[in-house]
Structure 1
């Protein structure tokens, strides 16, 4: 079993019309808990990937305060995930009360419980040479058993149970993104970044394209003061032999590799396009490449690091 969905409000809640129901129209709350070694950290990172503000190891006593803070803060905090650790004091007695308090204030929290078979948990702990947080002087199996007892109520409260016994990290991340991200949040976002080699390579570049094989508009007096964003400069650059094929080749390369990057969990790709100063050739090529990537139905935009720097 990969996951069990229980009858509960969806991740975006239901809209209420009275004062108590007001927060849920603006705030999405996810409460993540589960067994140690089950994959809580991976779930937290996946939620961050799809735009959640994630608070790790939050005591239940602070859940309502955190939810109301998120409501007041607005912006990205309106999608907040709270990750609960079994080591939080009174975990076994006040989680239900904390959830009830959230609902009474008009929030619609969705509880995600991450689980795995005991044998799998033992292998995971042994592979990283860590002890279970609750095993004390006993065996790993003893700590797991104690934790399951403490988490029984939390599991019963869960809206979503994800069994990670047969999931790798990428599969678990994809499952969380399917549940909470929506299609747009899971898409690879491509930044086509123009730059000037004389100012150094962008340190975050995944691909680097060198446009210096093309004639430099700087040496054309009527184009020198313009940039690659201007129509005349763009036309001059793209009309040069090899320019169109250069852009098309990289567009095909990125289009072919994008699905693989998405499967591996990469959400942001930076394609750097360089020329000498980052004003003419690289800017024109970056704008054209971003346009072609959008035609391939990729989320792409051009950004110009060194434009105006000279």
Structure 2
């Protein structure tokens, strides 16, 4: 592959058996920052890749889901991918599963197989397997999803196609004031009103938790550091579990009365500790810091 092909970015073709998990794989790739196009006829691959090559900065990673819903056009996929490999950094991932697992999945959702026609689900699966065999033979990655649930498949895709060191979970640590309401999208809420309020200290009232004097005051209070350390430890298994269950975003909201002093200090401290978590990207926001 030429340097020019590499510079145009990576392209992934997602294909495989109906019911094997293409939609789940596509969702996982989208969470990783891939630009995903679903149900693309193979003949449209080259125009898509030409467009992504022109806009390589905006579309550095493109994934195209191609399957038998394209009808007769699907038969051209092996030839199309071969013709494109020299021009682009292109890989094909093929999702498969055993016939009995596929039958159970179609029965569970009460939908017909796209190729079964007047026959049974198994008839459709056999027709598809025959049609798609040349694609499977030339695939770069084959994932057998027979023993996977949707979370396990998403984890497998994330591990295969995420960049080294790329975070699998984004955590927002949000400070807020209870007087303005609890954030409705918070997954966890902590209440710092058990600590003395710096607002009642004249020299601290006009400052915020981002100022060193307020930070020192808050952290010097009995129980402050103990709570922060224990809370970060308590969130460790939660964040690991979120990654296993492919929950890509969560919010920890930390409140005090006005959202300017205690919650701000605590949010910064908790975020600093949680930033050491593997696979987690942490960001801090102060919702009510600018309110009067």
**TM-score tier after normalising by the smaller chain length:** over 0.9
Gaps of 5+ in 1: 1-13
Change (3 A) 1:296 1:31: closer
CA shift digits 1:92-139 (9 cap, x unpaired): 4321232134224x2021001111111111111111111111111211
| Rounded Cα–Cα distance in structure 1 between residues aligned with 2:67 and 2:258 | 51
Question: 5 Å matches for 1:28-177?
Answer: 28-75=10-57, 77-104=59-86, 106-177=87-158
- Cα separation, 2, equivalents of 1:273 and 1:158: 48
Structure 1 residues 116-169: Cα deviation after superposition (integer angstroms, max 9, x where no partner): 111111111111111111111211111111211221222122111111112222
Matched, 1:272 2:253: yes
The residue that corresponds to 2:208 in the other structure is: 227
Please name the residue that 1:6 is paired with.
none
* TM superposition score normalised by structure 2: 0.92
1:177-197 Cα shifts (integer Å, max 9, x gaps) = 221114533543322111122
**Cα distance between partner residues in 1 of 2:44 and 2:276:** 47
Matches within 5 A, 1:209-248: 209-248=190-229
8 Å Cα contact 2:43-2:73 kept in structure 1: no
Contact 2:171 2:282 in 1 (8 A): yes
1:227 to 1:26, Cα distance in 2 relative to 1, 3 A = farther
Corresponding residue for residue 24 of structure 1: 6
The answer to whether the Cα contact below 8 Å between 1:49 and 1:185 also exists between their aligned partners in 2 is: no
Can you give the 5+ residue segments of structure 2 that lack an aligned partner in the other structure? Answer: none
The number of equivalent residue pairs is 291
Indicate if the aligned counterparts of 2:152 and 2:245 stay in contact, CA closer than 8 A: no
Distance 1:305 1:74 in 2: 35
Aligned equivalent of 2:174: 193
Distance in 2 (alpha carbons) for counterparts of 1:295 and 1:145: 49
For residues 193 and 219 of structure 1, the distance between their equivalents in structure 2, rounded to whole angstroms, comes to 23
Q: What is the TM-score normalised by the length of structure 1?
A: 0.87
Whole-angstrom CA distance in 2 between matches of 1:76 and 1:247: 40
For residues 86 and 295 of structure 1, do their structure 2 counterparts lie closer, same or farther at Cα, with a shift above 3 Å needed?
A: closer
**Alpha-carbon distance in structure 1 between the residues aligned to 2:95 and 2:254:** 43
Q: Do the aligned residues in 1 keep the contact of 2:41 with 2:74 (CA within 8 Å)?
A: no
Q: Which has the larger displacement, 209-218 or 65-74? A: 65-74
Q: Which runs of 4+ in 1 moved over 4 A?
A: 295-298
Aligned-residue CA RMSD (Å): 1.9
